[in-house]
Structure formats: C-alpha cells, structure tokens
Structure 1
Amino acid sequence: MDENQEEDLSRAEVLEAPQMGLTRVAAHMCLDIFDSARHRRKLYVGEWLPEPVPDRTTTVVSTPVRALDRITLGESVNTALTVVPESLTPAARVAFVLRNMFALSFGEIAAIVGRTPQMCRKLASSAWRHVRHRRRREIASDVHTRIVTAFRAACDTGDLTTLVSLLDPDATTLSDGGGKVRAALNPIHGAERTARFMLGVLVQHPELEATLQSVNGKTGLVLRHDTAVSGVVSFHVQNEKITDIWVVLNPDKLRSWNRS
C-alpha cells in the first residue's frame, strides 16, 4: 500500500467512524511527538524533568484555568506520576492512555501503535503497574505537607542534622537547568549529600526566598528572586521520609509561574 492509498484510507476511517478515526490520528501524532521528544532529550544538558504545574489557586497565574488544566492539577497527576511514564516507551505510553482513558480494545490499539493485540496488552499492563506502584506509595496530603514544611524550616535555619533525618537514606535529587542556568548535571544520591546540596543552593543564593506552594497538586517549594520565580521544587514522601526531590530551574519550564 503506497502513501496515497494510506492517506485515502485514513480519510475514509475519519468519515465512517469519526471518533475512532480521530483517535487514531491523534495517537499517531502523539507517537511522533514522543519519538521526537526522546531524541531531543538525548541532546538535553543535564537531567530532564517535566514542567511543573502551578495549582489553579496560585496567585501568580491570572489567566483562567481550562478544563484540561484542571485534570493535570489533580491529585493523581503529581510529579511522581509524571516522572514515571518517561521511563516507558512511546508505544507503552500511548497504549496505556488509549486503554485506561479511552477504553479502546487491544485490537484497536494494535492498529494504532503497530503492535499485536497481545503485545499491546503487555505494554498497557506494564505501564499500569508502574503507575499503580507509585500510587500505593503515596501518603496522605497532610503528612506530605508536614514533612515538606519541616524540610523548609530546616533549610531556613541551616539545620543539616534535621534535614538528614527527614530524608530517606537512599534519597535522590534531580536538578533540571536545561543548560540555561547552573544545575547539577547528574543525580545526587544519599540523605547527607542531598541535604548538603539543598543547603548549598540556598547559601550560594541568599537572595532566593523559598515559599510553600502547591506544585502538581502536592505541597512543594517555590524559589523566588523578588517577584520572579527562579525555581520550583517538588517532593515524593514515603513512610514519612523524603525519597525524591525534583528541582526545576530551567526558565523555559517556569513560564506558567511567571505570568503577570
């Protein structure tokens, strides 16, 4: 089948079954975007993190929040869950969304992603296990907020001992500067190294003010210089210990936080 025949077939599908046809077109576009993004990230300077989303009640955002934005701000779509899919292949991510969000059959998904129905079932199941594992590890919002608040207070006073006590021994910090601003190029592992890194950032930049604020639906820290947001920090807490810290410093990913 040549390209013209495929194009005619796609048009016929859209006319005969609009919902399925448009879903297929959108899914193919997503696959192309994922593949392109994966290639760009190979050239990305340092660690790559998803763009943090401000809560709809955040005062720095003056524009109305659309319905789709409200979905991304939900409790189930926090930083932990947006980081996990990045480890999946584009086909697995699309299979997961089409199955769990649009309830497509695995036969329909197979026609879209170019895999067998059996393989699509495995891809979707694997993706769901990743997400479900993260959800099981989530703690109550008030506990999360209490731990992050204590973390901020320890940073303010330079209390290294307290900071270390709040961190899991295997805690990991990722810092995303995108080559635009200074950031750690590699992951930082361990409670003490993470604590010293966070204190070092604040000591080197005394002009920054860290405030508690909702980040992707969970309490995080927003770093401001005067009124401009210079960084956003989000946390994953398990068993009342911080296991992951994500620091986004790339100004290109902070535009939604700096809208006037």
Structure 2
Amino acid sequence: MDENHDEDLSIVEVSEIPQVGRTHVAARICLDILDSARHRRKLYVGEWLPEPVPDGTTTVSSTPVRALDRITLDESGKTALTVVPASPAARVAFVLRDMVALSFGGIAAIVGRTPQMCGRLAFAACRQLRDRHRRESESDVHTRIVTAFWVACDTGDLPALVSLLDPDATTLSDGGGKARAALKPIHGADRTARFMLAALLQYPKLRATLQSVNGKAGLVLRHDTTVSGVVSFHVQDEKITDVWLVLNPDKLRSWNRS
C-alpha cells in the first residue's frame, strides 16, 4: 500500500465511518492496488506469484464447508484467485458479492461498471474458482501426491514424475530477477517433469522437507539451513495441475526467520 493511501486513511478514524462506507473505501483501495500491482508486474522479471505462507502444519481442517468458503479459510484460495485469469474488477466484484454480500448496485459504484456487468464479472470469477475447488483433491490425497512427487524428483524417476502430473500441468517459477527461474510458464507434464529434474541436477546439495505451504502440503527447499525455495501445488482428480515455485529471496523472509 503506498503512502498516499496511508495518508488518506489517517484523516478520519475507521470507527467513525459507517460499515457500508468502510466497505466502499476498502474496496476502492484494493482495486487501486490491484491496478497498480498489475502495472508493476509488467516490469517484474519473469513470472509473479504471491508470497508463500508458512504455518507449521502439513494438514488442513477436515470440517465440511462450502467450496467457496475455503477461500476465506486458507491461503491457497488467495493463490488460486491470483492465478485465475480474471481482471481486477472481476476479482473485487467476486469478493464483495460472495464474501461481503454487497449488492451489485453497490459493487457497480465501486468498480465503475454497470450492475449487470458486475454480476457477469463476479459470476465468471466464481465459476472458475468453484470448478477448481470442486475437483480439488482431499488433503490426505494432496499430501500423498506431493510426497510421491518429491520421491520421483529425488530419485530422478522421469516416468513416475510424469504420471503424477496432469497432461496440461503448468509450472510457474518466481525468481524476481534475484534467483534463477524460468521466465515463462512451463506447460505439459513431460516438460514440467524435465524442468524439475534438470533444475535439481544443478543443486545436488538441495534438500526438501514436506511442510504446510498456504495451508496445504508443499515442499520447502533448503541449502544448509537457508530456505531457497518453496513449492506449492494444486492437485485435482489425483493429478498435479499447477506447480508454483517461489525462489525470490524477498518472498522467503518469513521462512528464514530464526
């Protein structure tokens, strides 16, 4: 958030703003930040991914919830919302409708679209996320697949690695210009598998541990005691569809605190 936003918010106490007004102000700030972030990402070196979040556990709650409610419960939903191809306006419309229950008329005043257009934007984002969550594997299956993924990587077993990946799997690696990473998405099971094995060959002393990343089982890569990479996954229908590899040291600070 930039300094101008901080100055604007300091003019009045948040408690003095009516709830609807607070929602409007917050949503406008978020929309401005999304637009600004989209501009900054054009200048970013390579692919951009959200900062991975450690939480010290390899499992998530098994309490039954609506698929879309999971977005408010774990960080993986934030990653999904980031990588789903939707405009900033669509993401804001979705959040305000499904999580704040704001009317489309109220959303229209915030995002600068008609109520009808806001409805279409929110529905499109909702449908994409609902489909991802509907097909998402359960936590124990997710953990099993991720564990097998690392075993295949560690042993150099290309056929086993390919078998764990969806034929249309996509890998994004974020080095931010500060660590070696693929500058463009890698598509396909075979290409993803070969990329992972080739990358690991360059770092023979790298070791991985299974840890919770964004609320689900992921891999934390270390050189000695320093975390140099964090890998998170999207698993659906017992196949890995997305691999997100964060290597940018600026995004790994929370993993390297003593």
Asked if TM exceeds 0.5, the reply is yes
Among candidates 192, 199, 202, match of residue 201 of structure 1: 199
Conserved in 2, the CA contact under 8 Å of 1:78 and 1:217? no
Deviation at 1:24, TM superposition (A): 1.1
Conserved in 1, the CA contact under 8 Å of 2:54 and 2:214? yes
Where does residue 83 of structure 1 map in the other structure? 82
Q: Against the structure 1 CA distance between its residues 82 and 207, is the aligned structure 2 distance closer, same or farther, given a 3 Å change threshold? A: farther
What do the CA deviations read for 1:123-177 (whole angstroms, capped 9, x no partner)? 1111111110111120111111111111111111111121122122222211110
Tell me the distance in 1 between the aligned counterparts of 2:245 and 2:198. Answer: 14
Tell me the distance in 1 between the aligned counterparts of 2:168 and 2:109. Answer: 42
Q: Classify the secondary structure of the residue corresponding to 1:180.
A: coil
Q: Against the structure 1 CA distance between its residues 249 and 72, is the aligned structure 2 distance closer, same or farther, given a 3 Å change threshold? A: farther
Q: Residues 1-260 of structure 1: matches in 2 within 5 Å?
A: 18-57=18-57, 74-75=73-74, 77-78=76-77, 81-85=80-84, 87-260=85-258
Q: Classify the secondary structure of the residue corresponding to 1:231.
A: strand
Tell me the distance in 2 between the aligned counterparts of 1:258 and 1:72. Answer: 26
Tell me the distance in 2 between the aligned counterparts of 1:44 and 1:163. Answer: 30
Tell me the distance in 1 between the aligned counterparts of 2:75 and 2:198. Answer: 32
Q: Against the structure 1 CA distance between its residues 73 and 148, is the aligned structure 2 distance closer, same or farther, given a 3 Å change threshold? A: farther
Deviation at 1:56, TM superposition (A): 4.7
Instruction: Give the RMSD, CA atoms, in angstroms.
Output: 2.3
Tell me the distance in 2 between the aligned counterparts of 1:220 and 1:33. Answer: 28
Partner AA of 1:36 in structure 2: S
Moved more, 48-57 or 120-129: 48-57
Partner AA of 1:74 in structure 2: L
Conserved in 2, the CA contact under 8 Å of 1:220 and 1:235? yes
Partner AA of 1:88 in structure 2: A
Structure index of larger Rg = 1
Tell me the distance in 1 between the aligned counterparts of 2:73 and 2:212. Answer: 11
Q: Against the structure 1 CA distance between its residues 255 and 166, is the aligned structure 2 distance closer, same or farther, given a 3 Å change threshold? A: same
Deviation at 1:219, TM superposition (A): 0.9
- Unmatched runs of 5 consecutive residues or more in structure 1: 1-6, 59-70
Tell me the distance in 2 between the aligned counterparts of 1:172 and 1:238. Answer: 13
In the TM superposition, structure 1's runs of 4+ consecutive aligned residues that sit over 6 Å from their partners are none
Tell me the distance in 1 between the aligned counterparts of 2:91 and 2:97. Answer: 10
Tell me the distance in 1 between the aligned counterparts of 2:179 and 2:162. Answer: 27
Tell me the distance in 2 between the aligned counterparts of 1:80 and 1:90. Answer: 14
What TM-score comes out, normalization by structure 1 length? 0.83
Q: Against the structure 1 CA distance between its residues 194 and 79, is the aligned structure 2 distance closer, same or farther, given a 3 Å change threshold? A: farther
Q: Classify the secondary structure of the residue corresponding to 2:52.
A: coil
**What is the percent sequence identity of the aligned residues?**
74
Partner AA of 1:105 in structure 2: S
Q: Classify the secondary structure of the residue corresponding to 1:171.
A: strand
What do the CA deviations read for 1:67-112 (whole angstroms, capped 9, x no partner)? xxxx978357347524334x22111111111111111111111112
What do the CA deviations read for 1:182-212 (whole angstroms, capped 9, x no partner)? 1011111222221111111111011211111
Conserved in 1, the CA contact under 8 Å of 2:173 and 2:185? yes
Conserved in 1, the CA contact under 8 Å of 2:53 and 2:75? no
Partner AA of 1:42 in structure 2: K
